Each structure stands twice: as C-alpha cells, then as structure tokens.
Amino acid sequence: MNSIVAIVGRPNVGKSTLFNRLVQRREAIVDSVSGVTRDRHYGKSDWNGKEFSVIDTGGYITGSDDIFEGEIRKQVNLAIEEADLIVFVVNVEDGITPMDAEVAKLLRKVKKPIFTVVNKVDNAMREPDAIEFYNLGLGEYFTIASINGSGTGDLLDALVAEMPDPEPFDADKEELPRFAVVGRPNAGKSSFINSLIGKDRNIVTNIAGTTRDSIDTKYNRFGFDFNLVDTAGIRKKSKVKEDLEFYSVMRAVRSIEYADVIILVVDATRGFEGQDQNIFWLAEKNRKGIVILINKWDLIEKETNTLRDFEAMVRKQIEPFTDVPIIFISALTKQRLFKAIETAVEVFEKRKKKIPTSKLNDVMLDIIKSYPPPATKGKFVKIKYCMQLPTATPQFAFFCNLPQYVRDPYRRFLENKLREIYDFSGVPVTVYFRQK
C-alpha cells in the first residue's frame, strides 16, 4: 500500500511547482494523470525504491484570500484525515502570514509526520531569512527553490525515510481480492452493491474501510469470496468555486490504490463523460484490473445497434487501452449482476497470471522474428530474450541491443500480442525494453 503525501499551504507559495517536481523527477515516475478532475493534482512518484502518491490540495483555490480561508481550512483538514504525510509549503519572500499561522495551528495538533518547506530560497543570502519559520512551532524546516529543484532531494530523502518499506511481492500469499466500486454520484453504485448483497445481506463483517466513506463488505455468495469497497461518489469539480469537490476525489484515490480490481459504474443515461474517463485513467495509472458496468440500461430506448454503438463509443474514449470488459447492467432489475461479479473475479485472476519464461520466449521470439522492430536511423534492434517480471501486475521485459531505438507503436504491438495470446482482458500490461 503506497503512502499518500499531501501538499498544503495558501495560494501562490509554489505548491504546484513543487508538485510537478515531485512527480516528474525521473523517468521512473509515472506522469501526472490528466487530473482526477481536469487539473493535474494527483501523481505518482518514487524515490529510493519507494513509490508514493502526491496530492496537491492547492490548485482548487483561486480568487481572493478572504473567501477562501474557509476552503484552505477545509483542505488542510482533509489532508490531515486522508494523507499519511503532509508537506506544508510557505514562502520566504512573504514571511509568516496570518493564514500560514492559521494552517500551522491546525497542523500542530496532528500526530502524522509534517514537513515544513520554505520555498523560494534560491540563494545563500535568503537562508537566514528562513529562520523566522521556527516561530510556526512545527520544528525543523526544509529550504528549497522548487523552480530549479535545489533542496528537493533532501526533502524527498526525509519523506521516504518516514514511509514503511515496501512489502516484497509474494505471489503465493492468498488474500481476498478487493473490488472497489467507483463512479460519479448517482451512477448507481450503492444500488449495485445493495442488489449484490441482497436483502438477506450475506455479510460476515463490516470492516471500517480506508476512510470514513469507504466501507468494506466481505461478500461470499455463488462460490465467490471477496471484499467489496464502496466509495463515496466521485463528483466533478463544481462550477461554484466555494463548493469544492476535492473530497470525493481524494477518497477515490485512496479506494483505487487500495483495491485490486476497479468496478467503474457508469450511468447509461448520461453517457461516458469526462469524469468517468478520469476515474478510468486513474485506475489504469495505478495498474488495477478494470471492469466497466453501464448501469440503468433498462432506461435506454433500444434500437438494433444501440448496445453496439454505445460500447464502440466507450472504447473510442479509452484508447489505446481498449481491451476492457464492458457489461450492460441494471442494478434495479438485477440484470447481469452475476455476470459483472464473475467478470471482476476473472480480471483479478488474469492480473496475477504468471507465464513461464521458456514458454514466453518460444511464443514471443517467433512473433518478433516474423515482425522485427523497424530500423530507426539505420540502427537495427535485435531482441534476444524476454521474461515476465516478479511484480504484482503483468510487466514484461524484452532484452535487446538498442532499447532506446524501440518506438511506441512497436511496444504497443507486443503488448497487444501478449494480451491476445495470454488473455489479459481488463488488466494494464507494461512492456519494458532493457539492454541485454
């Protein structure tokens, strides 16, 4: 389970610049998801072998300071509840402002690791000016210049030192699969869960979930056994600035990171909207299994090709990762609910599938021989060997003489072949090229 780092602070202290630095430090870092909302405020990062998520609570505040003092308080409280570590950014040019003092007051009561970061210390002359930030009562601080990155290495070292060591992946460890039911509000997530569990409620225990709004339900019927994670609805960023829907976004991030398979419930009457797509890409970035349920299908006027056209429209929106099961259901009339769960279980099994190296080479090297990577700048790439990496999700390494000359279309070609031959439907597959 990755740690979540939240960046807090008042507007214009450089939170977003720091966020961009943290999530794009090295090639190993997955780019920020094109927002959980339209903005880019959620990203994955890794440092010294520890992967973690970064959330910038700041990009949601615009407008004058006084209206948004309440908003900042709301966001700091949310970060305190949901994140594992908190980075509090202040700015050496302004010194301690009343709003900084207000945020520090909230943070002083918190039992989680807090890192005070004094930004815009871009030369040695400014170092002494940072001393006044001891007055915030949060102990030691880090001085950085997020614009050029100086000081961020020390901050990252300190952050990851507070994070637990990653558990070694153990393929044999039998744990119940965790399915998170996500989607925008009113898509029918709760009806779906209630229809599944039924009035007789085959619940063994109600485990308090990751957050107050995610409830885990142990489900065992029809020969299936898994944990169902119900998430509070993910809402679109509201048009009204005061009513910032940062909450559901952060909660969704938690639930998605915490699950094995994401069941994305979509309201058929509204189509597959931007918010649905954002949730989809969030799950894909986290390398989760994905099943898309088109709910309320009973309310749609049907013609000959209605279903086919709707499915084609969804697949168009999720290119290039189109190999995802899409099931049309009605939580109300219980249509195809069993199929939905059966598919989620299949996706879970596919996600942990392991292919023996010798068999993989027999099959893939033949394909590569028939369709070698095209030459780039007169350089010929020779792929000698491939293997599946010992990771929790399907990742493959292809060893060759010139990995830097393999282009994206060829990477996708190999990924599609792996999907086709080994049936990885609904599971993100990662292909790496390494020097032999």
Q: Which residues are annotated as a binding site for GTP?
A: 9-16, 56-60, 119-122, 183-190, 230-234, 295-298
Partners of 5 in the beta sheet? 54, 85
* Distance (Å, whole) CA 234 – CA 237: 9
| CA quadruple 308, 310, 313, 317: dihedral sign | negative
CA atoms within 13 A of residue 162's CA, in its CB half-sphere: 19
84 phi and psi angles, rounded to 5 deg: -95, -30
Residue 257's H or E segment, with its range, is helix 246-258
CB 64 within 8 A of CB 100: no
**C-alpha dist (Å) from residue 12 to 20, 146, 316, 420:** 14, 12, 38, 49
What SS3 class is residue 125? helix
Given the structure tokens 């190993």, which residue do they identify? 28
Residue 277's H or E segment, with its range, is helix 274-285
* Distance (Å, whole) CA 179 – CA 235: 20
Binding residues: 9-16, 56-60, 119-122, 183-190, 230-234, 295-298
The DSSP annotation for 31-76 comes to PPPS-SSSS--EEEEEETTEEEEEEESGGG--S-HHHHHHHHHHHH
Instruction: Assess whether the previous peptide bond of 166 is cis (omega < 30° from 0).
Output: no
